Amino acid sequence: MIDRPTGLLDAVLDRSIVFGYTNIGFALRRARWRRTDDPRPGSLAGRTVVVTGATSGIGAAIAEQVASLGAKVVITGRNRARADEVRATILRSHPESAVAVELGDVSDLDAIPDLARRLAAHGVDVIVHNAGVMPPKWTAATNGHELSLATHVLGPILLTDLLMPHLAAGKDARVIFMSSGGMYTAELPVDDLDYCAGRYKGATAYARSKCVQVAMVPILARRWASGDVTVAGMHPGWVATPGVADSLPGFNTLAGPLLRDADQGADTAVWLAATTPKPENGRFWHDRAPRPERYLRRTEFTESDRAAVWRQVCSFAEIAP
C-alpha cells in the first residue's frame, strides 16, 4: 500500500513528465519502495519467460533480470548473431541459467503460427512483448499493414492468442506489453488504423500504435481471463537504447543525461512478471504503479471507439473477436 504523501509525490512526478520519466523519477520512486516489494530471489524458478525483441536494449535487460530470478528465458528476435550474443552475456553472469533462442519477426503474421509452435515446445508462463520499430517512412509489413501497427499490436495479439492453450494450462500466466510514454500524445486512430491519411512521421506512427496497444489491454484481459492469464501494459520511462539513439537522435542528445539505463527501463516489466501477489488484471503501469490510459482531453476516447478498433484489429490479424 502506498501512503498518501508518497502517492501524491508519485502523481506529481508522473504529470511533470521530465521528472517522472527520467532517471530522477526512477531514483525517487525506488527510494520509497520497500525491500519486500522487490521480486524475491528465485521467484521465477520453474517458469519460462519469452521476451520478444530481446537482442538489445530493454529486451536484453529484461532477459538478464528474469534469468537472475531463476526463469528459463527464451530470447526472440530477428538477428541470430545479436540473440546469441545476449544469450552468451546472460550465461557468463548466470552460468546455471537456461537460455534459449527462437528467431522470429512478430510483424510477419504468416510466420507467427510457426513461431508459436516453437515457443510452445519450451512451455510458456510469461510473455513480454517488447519488440519495437520506428520506421522513418510508411512501411508495409508482410501482411500489407503498417509496420508499427503490425509489430506492436497485430503480431503480439495473434502470437498470444495462439499460445493461449499453453498459457492457460500452466499456473499464473502473465502477458506484458511494453508501451511508451509517448503514447499519451496520440489519439486513438479509430478511422485510420493503418495510418494511410496525412503526412507519415515515424515517431507519430510509433505513438499511435502504442496508444492502440494500451487501449486493447482491458479487452485482452477479458478475452484471456478464462485461462487465468493476467494482462498488463506498461511504459518504461525515457530510456537510453540503441533504438532511441537511431530513431530520435535529437531527443537522445538533448535528454541524454536524464535518460534511464536499460536495467531501469526493464524494472517494471520484470516486476510485473515476478511480483506476488499477481498484479491487477488489465491495468497500465509505470514504475510499479498503475497509471491512467489518458491524460490529455484531446486524446480521450469512448468505449465505443475502443470496441471499433478491436474489431479492426481482429480483422487485420484474422482472429475471431
Rounded-to-10 torsion of CA 267, 275, 116, 228: -150
Residue 70 backbone dihedrals phi, psi, to 5 degrees: 100, 0
- Could you identify the residue written with the cell 524475491? 40
Domain for residue 25, yes or no? no
Domain for residue 2, yes or no? no
Domain for residue 309, yes or no? yes
What is the C-alpha separation between 267 and 263, in angstroms, rounded? 6
- Which is it for strands 283-286 and 289-291: parallel, antiparallel or unpaired? antiparallel
**Helix crossing, 202-223 with 303-317: angle to 10°?**
90
Domain for residue 9, yes or no? no
Q: pTM score > 0.95 for this model?
A: no
CATH number at residue 203: 3.40.50.720
Domain span including residue 99: 41-317
Let me know: does 74 contact 52? Beta carbons within 8 Å. Answer: no
Helix (H, G, I), strand (E, B) or coil at 9: helix
Q: List the one residue out of 161, 247, 171, 157 whose CA is nearest residue 202.
A: 247
Cell of 286: 509505470
Cell of 313: 484489429
180-206 pLDDT, tens digit each:
999 999 999 999 999 999 999 999 999
Domain for residue 1, yes or no? no
140-159 pLDDT, tens digit each:
999 999 999 999 999 999 99
- Model confidence at 3, pLDDT cuts 50, 70, 90, reads very low
Domain for residue 35, yes or no? no
Domain for residue 307, yes or no? yes
Domain for residue 19, yes or no? no
- State the total domains in the chain: 1
Residue 214 backbone dihedrals phi, psi, to 5 degrees: -65, -40
Q: What is the pLDDT of residue 255?
A: 64
- Model confidence at 253, pLDDT cuts 50, 70, 90, reads low
- The one catalytic residue in 195, 200, 206, 295 is 206
Active site includes 206? yes
Rounded-to-10 torsion of CA 174, 177, 178, 179: -150
